[in-house]
């Protein structure tokens, strides 16, 4: 050969794969470790995100391709994959999507979960398209080669992931056994990232190598899985045909009333496509499906356009009513891909020749279309957030949506940088009869810190002082209480966690030690899981902590709040005494439906 094949022997391939796995683990550890400071590159999200995405994905596909591609081809594939992956991660940071509330600032440099999923899918598709063409030195390659590569890659990745999970299960079991002997070295060891990340990537590399050298086992698993799936095709076809036949008698109203018809129809369509392909397999004569499966597949192909058409129609009605959002654009793209399958399979069915032979062309072409959609949607070319924001703002300015009903929070939290830029423009809007109302709503939305309500972020000491009204008049909540960090105090009145919630504070010596405790009572409309009336006590170290809570349905009664504000609160002996058994003191907790009236007077 003119070029050297990478790692021709099993032993060499194994050692090379383990080296790649170890380097991947070390790279991920160093990147994650940089977020602790944070230090470079975590301080530069546009650099950190691409590096993290490349370190997470590219080595895995190098492990799959080792021994398959020549040195120059493997290097070229790694470079192209790195540019693609890094580019998508950088675009994700550029678009500035809002991250979930509560994440530390350093976490904001990680790519979003949706982008990571898109990268994984796109690399898998590219892998299944590139390797067969490289092996046969032609584009397109034979369908059987595409089919073999796709299933080989899928089975390897699935079983490697299962192996890593079992590896960690055994490792954890071992540490627990040593814990029984009070040997905590191993349980402490696996908690360190410098150990956990490299050992995980090493396990993954070992699993990929083992599945690679046992090709017959992988092929056998694939054959068994496809055989089992193919015999589900008649059942799914019967269900789909029955559904379509019932539609003229039931109408579409029951379907729309479910409010999730689109997802059900998409799921049914995907199931039919997967099962038809399971029956068809690679199209080789020796694996031709029996007559029953061919009949079932033909009926499934005829039914598929109906299901996809209904999903598209349901989405169209929703868009007409509410306009485009990012999620609806992704759903529209999914339906568009399903249309390619549905119409392509019908074309394959009606053409003369072997049964569904042109399904092969449809599958390859649709895979390329999916790659193109991922590239467009996760770059500024056709960012769904940009399209959705433009559509929603146009509907607002055209008067199709009343200002009071328009979701300005969508622009702030779901529209990425495009939504915030739109709000900046709307807060200076001067044209239109609703311009003043739009300006006010836009300014309010820009100040929000959480998608689900104003002021969800924990209040500052100054804001907390304004949220708590002390009683009687003239009293003040201690500054140490206001300045204390209450983030880790759960089930406390909402004013400690939410700057939009108001509380009343009362002062009473509950335990009789001569020092007053603080009783905080929040609003009535809270979750039962939250202690809406809590007692806080100051410790010897000067810090306040939650001492307990006040229970009983009466706490929500307006007259209780009114009487407390008027100063009519005092400590009284318990109605029911505690019980002492030996040296143990037990407290009696009465049933609420017996001890307390459920209705306010």
Give 459: exposed, middle or buried? Use CB within 10 Å, 0-12, 13-18, 19+: buried
Percentage of the chain beyond pLDDT 70 is 90
| Shared domain check, 389 and 367 | no
Contact 42, 107 (CB under 8 A): no
- Report DSSP letters for 432-479, one per residue: STTHHHHHHHHHHHHH-S-TTSTT-SPPPHHHHHHHEEESSTT----H
pLDDT at residue 492, as a whole number = 80
Measured CA to CA, the distance from residue 368 to residue 118 in angstroms comes to 14
Burial 405-430 (b: 16+ CB within 10 A, else e): ebbbbbbbbbbbbbbbebbeebbebe
| Shared domain check, 403 and 437 | yes
20 in any annotated domain: yes
| Shared domain check, 155 and 193 | yes
Judged by phi (left if over 0) then psi (alpha if -120 to 50, else beta), residue 429 lies in: beta
Which of 93, 96, 98 is CA-nearest to residue 413?
98
pLDDT at residue 308, as a whole number = 97
Measured CA to CA, the distance from residue 205 to residue 197 in angstroms comes to 12
pLDDT in tens, 410-458: 998 889 999 999 999 999 998 888 899 999 889 888 877 666 555 456 6
Final residue belonging to a domain, choices 222, 254, 278: 222
Contact 48, 31 (CB under 8 A): yes
How many other CB atoms sit within 10 Å of the CB of residue 226?
Answer: 20
pLDDT at residue 1, as a whole number = 41
Final residue belonging to a domain, choices 397, 424, 447: 447
pLDDT in tens, 6-17: 445 677 888 999
pLDDT at residue 164, as a whole number = 97
Which of 388, 256, 241 is CA-nearest to residue 322?
388
186 in any annotated domain: yes
Contact 209, 17 (CB under 8 A): yes
| Shared domain check, 249 and 212 | no
Domain that holds residue 419: 384-447
pLDDT in tens, 119-132: 999 999 999 999 99
pLDDT at residue 526, as a whole number = 47
Region 224-230: what's the mean pLDDT?
A: 89
245 in any annotated domain: yes
404 in any annotated domain: yes
| Shared domain check, 529 and 506 | yes
Which residues have a Cβ under 8 Å from the Cβ of 257 and sit 6 or more positions away?
Answer: none
| Confidence class for position 489, pLDDT limits 50, 70, 90 | confident
| Shared domain check, 358 and 241 | yes
Rounded to the nearest angstrom, the gap between the alpha carbon of residue 89 and the centroid of all alpha carbons in its chain is 16
pLDDT at residue 537, as a whole number = 92
Q: 533: which strand partners?
A: 521
| Shared domain check, 395 and 514 | no
Q: Is the pLDDT of residue 192 over 90?
A: yes
| Shared domain check, 355 and 438 | no
Which residues have a Cβ under 8 Å from the Cβ of 316 and sit 6 or more positions away?
Answer: none
pLDDT at residue 573, as a whole number = 84
Measured CA to CA, the distance from residue 359 to residue 274 in angstroms comes to 12
Helix or strand or coil: residue 517?
Answer: strand
311 in any annotated domain: yes
Residue 322: how many CA atoms within 13 Å on its side-chain side? 11
In this structure, is the dihedral angle defined by the CA atoms of residues 501, 507, 510 and 514, taken in order, positive or negative? positive
579 in any annotated domain: yes
pLDDT in tens, 543-570: 898 888 886 656 667 777 788 888 888 8
| Shared domain check, 430 and 413 | yes
User: Cα torsion for 471, 473, 478, 483, to the nearest 10°?
Assistant: 90
How many domains does the chain contain in total? 4
| Shared domain check, 148 and 21 | yes
Helix or strand or coil: residue 546?
Answer: strand
Helix or strand or coil: residue 537?
Answer: strand
2 in any annotated domain: no
Final residue belonging to a domain, choices 399, 425, 447: 447
More confident residue, 166 or 472: 166
Contact 315, 330 (CB under 8 A): no
Tell how strand 517-521 and strand 584-586 pair up.
unpaired
Measured CA to CA, the distance from residue 34 to residue 53 in angstroms comes to 15
Q: Is the pLDDT of residue 598 over 50?
A: no
Rounded to the nearest angstrom, the gap between the alpha carbon of residue 402 and the centroid of all alpha carbons in its chain is 32
Measured CA to CA, the distance from residue 442 to residue 429 in angstroms comes to 10
Region 301-325: what's the mean pLDDT?
A: 95
pLDDT in tens, 86-122: 999 999 999 886 554 444 444 458 899 999 999 999 9
Contact 78, 62 (CB under 8 A): yes
Measured CA to CA, the distance from residue 21 to residue 259 in angstroms comes to 46
Region 264-284: what's the mean pLDDT?
A: 95
| Shared domain check, 414 and 362 | no
Least confident of 61-70, 76-85, 377-386, 419-428: 61-70
pLDDT at residue 444, as a whole number = 84
Region 58-64: what's the mean pLDDT?
A: 94
452 in any annotated domain: no
Measured CA to CA, the distance from residue 491 to residue 549 in angstroms comes to 10
| Shared domain check, 372 and 391 | no
pTM of the model: 0.76
């Amino acid at each position: 050969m003119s070029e050297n094949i990478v790692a021709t022997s099993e032993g060499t391939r194994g050692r090379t794969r383990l080296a790649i796995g170890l380097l991947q683990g070390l790279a991920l550890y160093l990147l994650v470790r940089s977020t602790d400071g944070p230090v470079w590159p975590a301080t530069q999200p546009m650099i950190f995100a691409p590096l993290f995405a490349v370190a997470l994905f590219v080595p895995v596909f190098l492990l799959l391709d080792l021994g398959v591609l020549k040195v120059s081809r493997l290097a070229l594939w790694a470079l192209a994959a790195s540019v693609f992956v890094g580019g998508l991660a950088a675009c994700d940071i550029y678009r500035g999507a809002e991250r979930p509330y509560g994440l530390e600032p350093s976490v904001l440099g990680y790519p979003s979960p949706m982008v990571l999923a898109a990268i994984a899918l796109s690399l898998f598709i590219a892998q299944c398209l590139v390797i067969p063409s490289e092996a046969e030195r032609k584009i397109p390659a034979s369908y059987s080669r595409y089919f073999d590569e796709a299933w080989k890659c899928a089975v390897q990745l699935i079983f490697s992931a299962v192996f890593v999970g079992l590896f960690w299960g055994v490792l954890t079991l071992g540490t627990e056994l040593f814990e029984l002997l009070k040997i905590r070295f191993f349980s402490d060891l696996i908690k360190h990232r410098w150990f956990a990340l490299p050992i995980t990537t090493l396990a993954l590399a070992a699993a990929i190598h083992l599945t690679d050298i046992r090709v017959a086992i992988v092929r056998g698993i694939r054959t068994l899985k496809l055989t089992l799936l193919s015999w589900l095709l008649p059942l799914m076809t019967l269900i789909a045909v029955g559904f379509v036949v019932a539609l003229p008698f039931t109408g579409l109203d029951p379907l729309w009333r479910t409010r999730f018809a689109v997802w059900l129809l998409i799921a049914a369509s995907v199931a039919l496509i997967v099962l038809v392909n399971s029956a068809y397999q690679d199209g080789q004569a020796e694996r031709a499906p029996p007559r029953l499966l061919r009949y079932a597949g033909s009926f499934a192909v005829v039914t598929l356009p109906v299901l996809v058409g209904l999903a598209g129609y349901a989405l169209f009605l929703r868009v007409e009513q509410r306009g485009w959002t990012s999620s609806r654009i992704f759903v529209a793209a999914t339906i568009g891909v399903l249309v390619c399958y549905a119409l392509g399979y019908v074309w394959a069915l009606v053409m003369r020749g072997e049964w569904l032979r042109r399904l092969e062309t449809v599958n390859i072409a649709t895979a390329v279309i999916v790659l193109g959609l991922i590239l467009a949607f996760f770059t500024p070319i056709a960012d769904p957030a940009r399209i959705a924001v433009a559509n929603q703002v146009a509907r607002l300015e055209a008067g199709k949506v009343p200002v009071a009903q328009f979701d300005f929070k969508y622009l702030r939290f779901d529209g990425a940088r495009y939504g915030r830029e739109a709000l900046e423009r709307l807060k200076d809007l001067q044209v239109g009869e609703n311009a003043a109302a739009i300006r006010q709503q836009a300014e309010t939305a820009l100040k929000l810190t959480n998608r689900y309500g104003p002021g969800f972020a924990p209040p500052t000491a100054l804001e907390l002082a304004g949220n708590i009204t002390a009683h009687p008049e003239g009293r003040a909540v201690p500054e140490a209480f206001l300045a204390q960090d209450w983030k880790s105090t759960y089930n406390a009145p909402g004013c400690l966690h939410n700057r939009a919630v108001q509380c009343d504070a009362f002062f009473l010596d509950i335990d009789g030690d001569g020092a007053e405790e603080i009783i905080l009572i929040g609003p009535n409309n809270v979750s039962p899981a939250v202690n809406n009336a809590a007692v806080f006590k100051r410790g010897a170290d000067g810090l306040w902590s939650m001492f307990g809570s006040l229970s009983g349905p009466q706490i929500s009664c307006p007259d209780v709040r009114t009487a407390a504000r008027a100063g009519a609160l005092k400590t009284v002996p318990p109605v029911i005494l505690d019980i002492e058994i030996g040296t143990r003191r037990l407290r009696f907790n009465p049933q609420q439906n017996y001890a307390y009236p459920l209705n306010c007077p």
